[in-house]
Chains A and B, each alone.
Chain A
Amino acid sequence: MRSPASRVRNPQSAIRRGGLRVWGMLCLLAAAVALAGAAAPAPQAPQDLEEQVREIAAQLRCPVCQNLSVGDSPSGLANEMRGVIREKLKAGESRQQIEAYFTSKYGEWILLAPMKKGFNLLAWGLPFVGIVAGAFAVVFLTRRWAGREGATDGGGGEGVPPANPEDAAYRERLRRELDEFAR
């Protein structure tokens, strides 16, 4: 049985290179996912009037209920607001115009998501910035920790096995993978 370590001349750097490429792939995947998610919320151009009403109503806050959208709210006022939206759509107004109308009557508060400008950008931007920074920190730290370990320890080897039931599964898997390498 050939030892897996003999496949590569220098296990540490191979691992590091391999690791970096995997990181790159993962980052790309994550970015793609994030973009897809961010682009997602609105479906394609809705077909009928009612769907358009619902779409706009979902962005407005029902003034009498707590935290429900005008679309979801069963209250009388929400019903009337949906009626107003419907009429404005029939008159050819755009979504921005309708939202601006309600904002002029009730204030910014009527929009369920804060407008993406000025101070409000803090709410939209900070979490994203934080996560990206965190991801970079993780990449940086894991590379540093791996570098440190790689310098002191030889390639392969298990290190100190923790003595608990989980280890049995780990050893099992190790044995399986060693078997597969051997085939």
Chain B
Amino acid sequence: MSWKKALIPLAALPLIGLLAYGFTTDPRAIPSPLIKKPAPPFTMTVYDGGPLSLEGLRGKVVLLNFWASWCFPACYEEAPELERAWRAYRDRGLVVGVDIQDTEAAGRQFIDQFKLTFANGPDPGGKIAIDYGVYGVPETFVIDRQGVIAHKQVGGVTDQMVAEQVEPLLKP
């Protein structure tokens, strides 16, 4: 009888174990359900230009980047990196920037500041952002030639990310 009772204090240990498991998880990292799924179609009006739709870009690798002028410091750090990637791969791939929750003036000023030449446009009402399950900036989606989302980068784009995620898709 007494050994069964000894189990009672030990019953606390699975709870401690569960809480300790919590140290290994990051409650703020939310995996996206859109990976490996077709990228949601959208059409937007680019700053200084006409409409841009995702269907029209099929066949090319697309780096879809969500940013905002008030997103400091991450968007400011990745902007030159994106411009570099765009210039390097412009024949095989595209960088498209979506400016969310921003004003036109601030967005244009950001583009001028970093001399961005890839297509950028606003997202009024946040429909494109919500369609992509965006919850913060910056976030970047890598879409392959078949229009399927290959990778989602939460946080700034880095050289390493471009090398690992984008380059393999550019090959064929």
Contacts and interface: CB of A to CB of B under 8 A. Distances in A.
Interface of A: 63-64, 76-77, 80-81, 83-84, 103-107, 109
B167 interface: no
A77 B132 CA distance: 13
Interface in B112-155: 125-127, 129-133, 135-136
B49 interface: no
Contact of B33 (A64, A76, A77, A104): A104
B148 to A, nearest CB: 16
Dominant SS at the B interface?
loop
B135 A107 contact: no
B22 interface: no
B101 A76 contact: yes
Interface of B: 30-34, 101, 125-127, 129-133, 135-136
B127 A84 contact: yes
Contacts of A107: 30-33, 133
Contacts of A106: 30, 32-33, 133, 135
A106 B32 CA distance: 6
A77 B126 contact: yes
